[in-house]
């Protein structure tokens, strides 16, 4: 048989060359603290605002939004260890001035915290 062909006549797929965009980025951890963000260049020349520390959250309650300070991370359903270290992730329950709120965005990729008040 010819090189690069199966006995049935089918072709073997060519091995793909590794590109720069195939690499993974380092995991970003967003903690509670004075706001510290950075602009990151992404594929296609676009930009993404990433966060390292955040202390304020945009809370939506009854179709009205308000900026409040974050006091503490109470619970993280995805991983209990993240709540102990005060790491902000999507789905985490945070304690704010208005009460408990649930984070609805990904703070590490948005550069801010969006949350919705949780009824107790």
Residue at 10 is within a domain: no
Structural domain harbouring 108: 25-117
> For the domain that residue 32 is a member of, what is the CATH number?
3.10.290.70
Please name the residue that has the structure tokens 């199966």.
Answer: 6
What tens digit of pLDDT does each residue of 59-86 get? 998 889 999 999 999 999 999 999 999 9
> Tell me, what's the pLDDT at 2?
66
Whether the per-residue pLDDT at 4 is higher than 90: the answer is no
Q: What would the pLDDT profile of 5-61 be if each residue is shown by its tens digit?
A: 888 889 888 888 888 778 887 888 999 999 999 998 888 899 988 899 999 999 998
- How would you class 117 by CB atoms within 10 Å of its CB: exposed for 0-12, middle for 13-18, buried for 19 or more? middle
Q: In this structure, is residue 20 part of a structural domain?
A: no
73 burial level (CB within 10 Å; 0-12, 13-18, 19+): buried
What's the pTM value of the predicted model, to 2 decimals?
A: 0.78
CB atoms within 10 A of CB 90: 18
CA atoms within 13 A on the CB side of 8: 3
């Amino acid at each position: 048989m010819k090189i690069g062909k199966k006995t049935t006549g089918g072709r073997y797929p060519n091995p793909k060359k590794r590109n720069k965009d195939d690499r993974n980025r380092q995991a970003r951890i967003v903690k509670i603290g004075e706001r510290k963000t950075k602009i990151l260049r992404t594929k296609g020349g676009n930009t993404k605002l990433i966060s390292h520390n955040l202390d304020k959250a945009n809370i939506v309650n009854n179709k009205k939004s308000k900026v409040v300070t974050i006091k503490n991370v109470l619970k993280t359903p995805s991983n209990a260890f993240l709540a102990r270290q005060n790491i902000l992730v999507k789905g985490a329950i945070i304690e704010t001035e208005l009460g408990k709120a649930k984070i609805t965005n990904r703070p590490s990729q948005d550069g801010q915290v969006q949350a919705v008040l949780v009824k107790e």
